[in-house]
Amino acid sequence: MMRRLLVANRGEIAVRVIRAARDLGVPTVAVYSDADRGALHTELADRAVCLGPAPAGASYLRQDLLLHVAEATGCDAIHPGYGFLSENPGFAASVEEAGATFVGPPAEVIAVMGDKAMARKAVAKVDVPVVPGSPDAVSNVDEAVAAAAECGYPVLLKARAGGGGKGMRVAGDEDELRECFTLARQEAAGAFGDDGIYVEKYLQRVRHVEVQVLADRHGRVIELGERDCSMQRRHQKVVEEAPSPALDAGRRQDLAGLAVRAAESVGYVGAGTVEFVLDMDTGAVYFIEMNTRIQVEHPLTEVLTGLDLVAWQLRIAAGEALQADPPPRRGHAMEFRINAEDWKRGFVPAPGTLTVFDPPAGPGIRVDTHCRPGAVISPHYDSLLGKLIVHGADRDEVLRRARRALSEFRVDGVHSTVGLHEWLLTQPEVVAGTYTTRYLTEALA
């Protein structure tokens, strides 16, 4: 196991990583910005070092500072969490060049899977189906128009780097594509420093289903089941559940096999998520991307399998081999993202100071959070307050427990999305599990 771990992140995921490391007996060093002084993750770590001012570009994204802190504090491994530098191949390469261990896949794997056009080409070589579209990023709008004509409108313009809905535009015809193209490139460049755009057929009624994989340094890849992430707003996940209500046993097995094949095609190492869309009109399944990091929604897999995925990230980074067979999955689970947002006013961010933060408890309830009363929710970072994970013997039990847990969740001082989730659990499509990725946007229109 590593000697000491630098946790190169903040908030909920930093708390999560520090706790997993402590369970393994690994000392940790936290980093923080001026805005996060006194935050929970800084208190849980064995040591905490200030990186600088609140803006992420002056603190959490400063690769030079992170490498300096790691060396100065004797850290021989760095965990990037999610977001920030977690899918930056340059950072991963710099960590390894400095003689430390990057807790994640090799830099070259991040580079391939982080470029959605390259990822499509890589998995297509091993017969994993991809959504029809341009084989590579297009260099100009005329190439985009030609690709759209080949696969048919409507089309989706997608940034080849990053995610979270940035650099994405739907075009219903050529005029709209020409209008959207420059905007998509500008947004992609601003978000990811890469204005590469590719064209993909826009599928209008889909479920977004992802498969969790683990891969060790000895060539073994296992799948740990799927998660359904179809409850979205502007391509941002709001509620996730596992297993997916949209899959039967045969399709579930097929999807798992495709995910393993995709991971094997690039020599994957660590925890990763292979993402697919299920076309509800045709029944076809298509690969869309692979996230080369731990996911926000990883606790769903943990409660169903009993595995600590973050601990396994650390164990794999230290060279440990995976178990012979994946553990069985038990029951059903849902995760509700609790954000500091005013969802009744277009989900505008709601920074401020938490005067009350009292999460629920009881059988089948888990809350992953970095918040407590008095915590300051900064406008500089994402608005996630915490994640409510509900586990039960079946989906009906989960829905009942979730209603009870949400009714107990107390948040004051800032607006939160607790009320949104309570409302969602009264909606027939949600209760029946028949929603698609367009459901929430249309329901709130």
Q: How far apart are CA 250 and CA 116, in angstroms?
A: 28
Q: Could you tell me whether strands 77-79 and 101-102 are parallel, antiparallel, or unpaired per DSSP bridges?
A: parallel
Contact 107, 92 (CB under 8 A): yes
- Residue 362 is which amino acid? G
Contact 293, 271 (CB under 8 A): yes
Three-state SS for 31? Answer: strand
| DSSP-based helix, strand, coil % in the chain, nearest 5 | 35, 25, 40
Please confirm, yes or no, whether 293 is among the known catalytic residues: yes
The residue from 293, 337, 395, 401 that is catalytic is: 293
Q: How many CB atoms lie within 10 A of CB 399?
A: 19
Torsion angle defined by CA atoms of residues 244, 239, 55 and 100, in that order, rounded to the nearest 10 degrees: -30
Classify each residue of 212-224 as buried b or exposed e, where b means 16 or more C-beta atoms within 10 Å of its C-beta.
Answer: bbbbbbeeebbbb
For residue 105, is the peptide bond before it cis, meaning its omega torsion is within 30 degrees of 0?
A: no
Q: 234-237 contacts: CB < 8 A, separation 24 or more?
A: 234/165, 234/441, 235/163, 235/164, 235/165, 235/168, 236/164, 236/165, 237/296, 237/297, 237/337
Three-state SS for 22? Answer: helix
Nearest to 59, CA basis, from 26, 40, 85, 90: 85
Nearest to 128, CA basis, from 288, 244, 322: 288
Q: What is each CA distance from 105 to 124, 164, 240, 275, in whole angstroms?
A: 20, 21, 25, 17
Paired tokens of 46? 């064995």
Nearest to 136, CA basis, from 145, 147, 128, 126: 147
Residue with tokens 């003689």: 99
Active-site residue list:
293
